[in-house]
């Protein structure tokens, strides 16, 4: 699952984003965290080590001594899909409340201490996890561990604090979702794709339920889920195992097991037997786009090899400009401005597979959809070639090396993967499992999961638009503002 | 030792210590090739890859009138055929080599970057050399990329915030090229030909407007011949149009009425240039006013105390021909006026009294300590930083001097910067429901 909410936007843009060479139309995937364990492997596997504290906290250490910076991330194994019915949004709302006062420190002191030494911090919530992180100089690691350990058990809240912060998350919902037609559509597509699993609910929550979240809900959530035995700490950067171990014992080691959240068993999907369509027409939309989605097992829920095959299928079908969809629709037929496929396999429970496209020139959305359907049908009927598989595989293996270039990225990959039911070994063996996928495996998962009669298709349309209408709008008018999207070289 | 102490230490002993033990485990070497191409290099063998970034001064402000979008369109075409390879062949080769290549145009520069596996370095550099020197600009890719850009323009043409942004830019920049749409319009894009692209490339890709930064698993000796290969045969001098200074039209309000869940508010004040001696006083002042993510006055008053917004803050923006301080937030329609008043009050307070001594100290500590975190966390980040430093002529020793430059700023200087920038009547943009 890719939808991730952050506590704050770091960059402010004056008047719309700066321009891109080519705008892509991927409908509303707020995709900031890697989907899968795709991006990982250390050449020397001993570089990454892990251990447990007596209270059950799992600790992972990923050394990288290039710059005097360390990334400290606490991942709680709780997300919006763990919320009680009627309380949608509490996981994300609670993440905001974790920045308030504790028994030990006044509100804002932790943030002030981090800022004082030039550190960065933030937090984010997704369906399966909630994470808090700081990037600081190695000498400040003990300080951030002390404060992070403190708020794991000592948070104090009151009605005033809860009400004011609730207004903030309501504004966040208005910013992210209500102001954005494609985000509104994506929300309802999810609610249609998942019929029973709580992935059907938006991470930020439904407005009417968010408005009623209160102090009692927040405290109940804290008491139930914020405990060392329900978390993974990932420390990457300019540190070593011995230091992290000593500091972790000194700080987190003193936090008692506060609760036993138990096994994460959410309502699962029933058999699906219908083809569904969701559409939204909005006066703010001028360029139509479509998306088709299916349920597909995640890395955690799949049978051995299936997730890897689905990942490679999405790459070959529509993962890059070398893919079948891009080559046929964007290059050869010239019907699409953008088109592609993706696999969301990074969730604890059932994930999804999707294709998307938007027309260009005089082509219609119907033509784009038909073109993509034809590419899927071809793979279902004839499979993929050895050459295509080889190239896709190489791209994945290369991404493993590229991923090691970012210490924060590495911490995110390990944290998100370990919070969704996989292990360090799973991450490190991923390249081998990718190498083991055969062409038949890819055809088989396409046949098994890309079944049209179980798909959800969504259309984002102009107010008066129809899918088969030519996207021949009046010429775009001149004059656009240019807002500096960047700050100064400081 | 804490980072700030370490930096002060480094600053004091800069001359002695720089080459031997830079405070940030980042040693910047200057490499000059036989043909005279200069690059800054940070050699680092931790990951077997190389990031190269380069920038040509010019950018979208160089688009001829009526051909707006030319620089941007050009950047979409460097991997669409070069030398003897047509688009398909070129992309296939790039994929086989496993290199990631991208080009981007902003108002003042065209930048390129490539990330390659060290073991495939030579093949990747060959492809980059072709792209930089011999882009083909074949008609089929031109038409395709142009249509994609047009589709992108159309996709946001009914978005109220985009429409408002256009109106505001027009009001703010007047006739200056910064007020144009850097991606162009359907009409301007349709007028662009192969020859326009080839000429633009020839005028803008030269040796005297080039900056190069390289980070990763490569030695100065290995890099030197590669610099000649990629950049050594470009024309000596760029042929650039002179761009005038943008004069921002302050003291005006642009309103766009549209029933929306939120009203967004932007306020634009004068800024300071990077080269201005007042840069750091102004930068520190902005940090205290609205720059700090969870610590600024605006953040505290608008979000933390009153829950009026999710994002609220300010940003100091410098470009080659303008500088501005921009304040932004978005709030529920029925409290937009209240929010605007709070912003005005905070800004007026800062203009009148400046920050406190404590705020100044905290801001300095943050700005000194945050440099490594913000700029050095991956090789791409380091490469971008090296480009920025060269672009602003800050010198190879800047990273070591920076702490001292910040620490010597006085409270009076910050107060003065606050007055100078914030006493101006700003340009304001309000987009949202009419009653607000």
Are A118 and B26 in contact (CB < 8 Å)? Answer: no
Q: Does B188 touch chain A (CB under 8 A)?
A: yes
Nearest to A298 by CA among A220, A338, A258, A352: A352
pLDDT at B25: 59
pLDDT at B385: 94
Looking at the partner chain, which of B88, B181, B306 has a beta carbon nearest the beta carbon of A479? B181
Mean pLDDT across the stretch B266-279?
A: 95
Find the length of chain A: 490
pLDDT at A6: 57
Q: Express each pLDDT in A433-487 by its tens digit.
A: 999 999 999 999 999 999 999 999 999 999 877 777 765 443 333 233 333 334 6
CB atoms within 10 A of CB B145: 22
Looking at the partner chain, which of B165, B377, B380 has a beta carbon nearest the beta carbon of A483? B165
Find the length of chain B: 436
Nearest to B130 by CA among B155, B167, B97: B97
Side-chain-side CA neighbours of A446 within 13 Å: the count stands at 26
Strands, E, within B122-240: which ranges? 210-216
Dihedral pair phi/psi, residue B429, rounded to 5°? -120, 125
Contact predicate A255/A55, CB 8 Å: yes
The model's pTM is 0.88
Best interface-test mutation with A: which of B77, B308, B377 has the largest number of A CBs within 10 A?
A: B377
Could you tell me the two tokens for B75? 């950047």
Mean pLDDT across the stretch A382-398?
A: 97
Are B372 and A67 in contact (CB < 8 Å)? Answer: yes
Distance from CA of B353 to the nearest CA of A (A): 22
| Confidence band of A41 (pLDDT split at 50, 70, 90) | very low
Are A488 and B274 in contact (CB < 8 Å)? Answer: yes
Looking at the partner chain, which of A21, A172, A331 has a beta carbon nearest the beta carbon of B76? A21
CB atoms within 10 A of CB A277: 14
Dihedral pair phi/psi, residue B266, rounded to 5°? -125, 140
> Which of A262-276, A387-401, B146-160, B267-281 has the least mean pLDDT?
B146-160
| Confidence band of B22 (pLDDT split at 50, 70, 90) | very low
| Confidence band of B273 (pLDDT split at 50, 70, 90) | very high
Distance, CA of B367 to CA of B409 (rounded, Å):
12
Which is it for the CA torsion A176, A178, A181, A182, positive or negative?
A: positive
**8-state DSSP, A195:** S
B239 DSSP β-pair partners: none
Burial status of residue B356 (CB atoms within 10 A of its CB: 0-12, 13-18, 19 or more)? exposed
Size of the A and B interface in Cβ pairs below 8 Å: 345
Mean pLDDT across the stretch A267-293?
A: 95
Residue B142 has pLDDT above 90, yes or no: yes
Crossing angle for the helix pair B357-375 and B398-407, to the nearest 10 degrees: 170
pLDDT > 90: what percent of chain A? 83
Residue A29 has pLDDT above 60, yes or no: no
Q: Express each pLDDT in B198-249 by its tens digit.
A: 999 999 999 999 999 999 999 999 999 999 999 999 999 999 999 999 999 9
Residue A166 has pLDDT above 70, yes or no: yes
List the catalytic residues of A: 95
| Cβ-based contacts of A475 with chain B (< 8 Å) | 185-187
Distance, CA of B403 to CA of B366 (rounded, Å):
11
Residue B27 has pLDDT above 80, yes or no: yes
pLDDT at A4: 58
Distance from CA of A245 to the nearest CA of B (A): 20
Q: Express each pLDDT in B281-297 by its tens digit.
A: 999 999 999 998 788 99
Q: Express each pLDDT in B346-390 by its tens digit.
A: 999 999 999 999 999 999 999 998 988 888 888 899 999 999 999
Q: What is the C-alpha end-to-end distance of chain B, expressed in Å?
A: 53
> Which of A15-19, A63-67, A118-122, A245-249 has the least mean pLDDT?
A15-19
Mean pLDDT across the stretch B82-97?
A: 97
pLDDT at B409: 97
Are A164 and B156 in contact (CB < 8 Å)? Answer: no
DSSP-assigned letters across all residues of A451-473: -GGG-EEEEEEETT--TTSB--P
Residue B406 has pLDDT above 50, yes or no: yes
Contact predicate A422/A290, CB 8 Å: no
Contact predicate B234/B60, CB 8 Å: no
Distance, CA of B61 to CA of B176 (rounded, Å):
9
Contact predicate B157/A473, CB 8 Å: yes
CB atoms within 10 A of CB B77: 24
Distance, CA of B421 to CA of B417 (rounded, Å):
6
Distance, CA of A321 to CA of A323 (rounded, Å):
5
Mean pLDDT across the stretch B116-143?
A: 97
pLDDT at A12: 29
B427 DSSP β-pair partners: B252, B268
Burial status of residue B410 (CB atoms within 10 A of its CB: 0-12, 13-18, 19 or more)? exposed
pLDDT > 70: what percent of chain B? 94
Question: Mean pLDDT over all residues of chain B?
Answer: 91
B110 DSSP β-pair partners: B56, B105
pLDDT > 90: what percent of chain B? 83
pLDDT at B104: 97
Could you tell me the two tokens for A405? 């270039």
Are B47 and A401 in contact (CB < 8 Å)? Answer: yes
B30 DSSP β-pair partners: B40
The nearest alpha carbon in chain B to A289 belongs to B155
Our CA angle for B172, B177, B179, nearest 5°, is 30
Burial status of residue B232 (CB atoms within 10 A of its CB: 0-12, 13-18, 19 or more)? middle
Contact predicate A489/B367, CB 8 Å: no
Could you tell me the two tokens for A217? 């809900």
């Amino acid at each position: 699952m890719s939808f991730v909410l952050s506590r704050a936007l770091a960059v402010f843009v004056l008047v719309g984003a700066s321009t891109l060479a080519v705008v892509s139309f991927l409908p509303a995937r707020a995709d900031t965290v890697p989907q899968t364990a795709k991006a990982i492997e250390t050449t020397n596997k001993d570089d990454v080590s892990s251990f447990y504290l007596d209270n059950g906290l799992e600790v992972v250490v990923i050394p990288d001594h290039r710059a005097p910076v360390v990334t400290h991330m606490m991942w709680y194994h709780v997300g919006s899909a763990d919320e009680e019915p009627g309380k949608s949004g509490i996981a994300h709302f609670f993440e905001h409340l974790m920045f308030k006062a504790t028994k030990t420190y006044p509100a804002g002191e932790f943030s002030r201490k981090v800022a004082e030494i030039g550190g960065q911090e933030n937090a984010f919530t997704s369906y399966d996890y909630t994470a808090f992180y700081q990037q600081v100089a190695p000498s400040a690691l003990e300080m951030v561990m002390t404060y992070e350990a403190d708020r794991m058990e000592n948070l104090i809240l009151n009605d005033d604090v809860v009400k004011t912060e609730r207004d903030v998350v309501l504004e966040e919902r208005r910013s992210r979702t209500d102001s954005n037609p494609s985000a509104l559509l994506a929300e309802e597509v999810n609610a249609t794709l998942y019929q029973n699993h709580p992935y059907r609910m938006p991470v930020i929550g439904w407005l009417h339920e968010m408005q009623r979240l209160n102090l009692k809900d927040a405290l109940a959530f804290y008491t139930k889920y914020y405990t060392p035995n329900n978390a993974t700490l990932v420390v990457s950067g300019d540190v070593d195992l011995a230091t992290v171990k000593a500091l972790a014992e000194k700080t987190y080691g003193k936090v008692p097991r506060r609760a036993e959240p138990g096994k994460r068993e959410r309502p699962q999907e029933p058999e699906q037997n219908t083809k569904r369509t969701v559409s939204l027409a909005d006066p703010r939309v001028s360029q139509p786009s479509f998306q088709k989605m299916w349920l597909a097992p995640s890395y955690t829920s799949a049978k051995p090899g299936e997730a890897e095959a689905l990942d490679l299928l999405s790459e070959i079908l529509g993962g890059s400009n070398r893919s079948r969809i891009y080559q046929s629709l964007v290059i050869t037929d010239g019907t699409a401005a953008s088109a592609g496929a993706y696999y969301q396999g990074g969730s604890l429970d059932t994930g999804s597979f999707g294709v998307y496209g938007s027309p260009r020139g005089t082509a219609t959305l119907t033509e784009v959809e038909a073109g993509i359907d034809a590419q899927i049908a071809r793979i279902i009927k004839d499979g993929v070639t050895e050459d295509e598989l080889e190239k896709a595989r190489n791209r994945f293996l290369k991404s493993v090396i590229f991923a090691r270039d970012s210490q924060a990225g590495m911490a995110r990959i390990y944290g998100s993967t370990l919070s969704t039911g996989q292990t360090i070994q799973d991450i490190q063996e991923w390249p081998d499992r990718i190498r083991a996928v055969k062409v038949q495996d890819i055809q088989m998962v396409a046949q098994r999961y890309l079944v049209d009669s179980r798909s959800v298709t969504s259309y984002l349309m102009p107010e008066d638009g129809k899918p088969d209408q030519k996207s021949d709008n009046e010429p775009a008018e001149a004059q656009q503002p240019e807002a500096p999207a960047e700050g100064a070289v400081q | 030792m804490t980072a700030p102490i370490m930096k002060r230490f480094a600053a004091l002993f800069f001359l002695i210590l720089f080459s031997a033990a830079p405070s940030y485990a980042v040693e910047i070497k200057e490499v000059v090739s036989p043909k005279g191409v200069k690059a800054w290099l940070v050699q680092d063998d931790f990951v077997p890859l190389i990031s190269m970034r380069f920038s040509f001064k010019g950018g979208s402000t160089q688009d001829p009138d009526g051909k707006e979008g030319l620089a941007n369109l050009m950047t979409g075409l460097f991997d669409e055929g070069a030398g003897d390879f047509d688009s398909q062949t070129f992309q296939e080769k790039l994929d086989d080599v496993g290199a990631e290549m991208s080009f981007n145009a902003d108002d003042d520069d065209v930048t390129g970057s490539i990330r390659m596996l060290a073991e495939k370095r030579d093949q990747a550099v060959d492809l980059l050399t072709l792209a930089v020197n011999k882009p083909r600009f074949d008609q089929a890719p031109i038409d395709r990329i142009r249509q994609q850009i047009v589709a992108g323009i159309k996709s946001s043409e009914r978005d109220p915030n985009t429409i408002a942004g256009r109106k505001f830019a027009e009001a703010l920049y007047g006739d200056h090229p910064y007020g144009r749409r850097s991606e162009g319009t359907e009409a301007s894009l349709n007028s662009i030909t192969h020859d326009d692209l080839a000429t633009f490339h020839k005028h803008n890709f030269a040796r005297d407007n080039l900056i190069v930064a390289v980070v990763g698993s490569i030695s100065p000796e290995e890099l030197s011949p590669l610099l000649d290969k990629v950049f050594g045969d470009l024309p000596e001098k760029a042929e650039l149009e002179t761009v005038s200074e943008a004069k921002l039209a302050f003291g005006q309000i642009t309103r766009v009425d549209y029933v929306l869940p939120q009203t967004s508010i932007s306020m634009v004040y004068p800024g300071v240039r990077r080269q201005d001696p007042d840069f750091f006083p102004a930068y520190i002042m902005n940090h205290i006013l609205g720059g700090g993510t969870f610590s600024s006055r605006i953040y505290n008053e608008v979000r933390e105390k009153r829950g009026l917004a999710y994002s609220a803050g300010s940003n100091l923006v410098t470009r080659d021909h303008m500088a501005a301080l921009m304040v932004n937030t978005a709030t529920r329609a029925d409290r937009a006026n209240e929010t605007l008043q709070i912003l005005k009050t905070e800004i007026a307070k800062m203009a009148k009294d400046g920050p406190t001594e404590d705020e100044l100290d905290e801001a300095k500590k943050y700005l000194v300590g945050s440099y490594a975190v913000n700029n050095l966390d991956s090789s791409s980040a380091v490469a971008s930083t090296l480009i920025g430093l060269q672009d602003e002529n800050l010198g190879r020793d800047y990273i070591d001097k920076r702490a001292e430059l910040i620490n010597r700023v006085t409270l009076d200087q910050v107060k003065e910067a606050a007055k100078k920038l914030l006493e101006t009547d700003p340009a304001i943009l309000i987009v949202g429901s009419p009653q607000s």
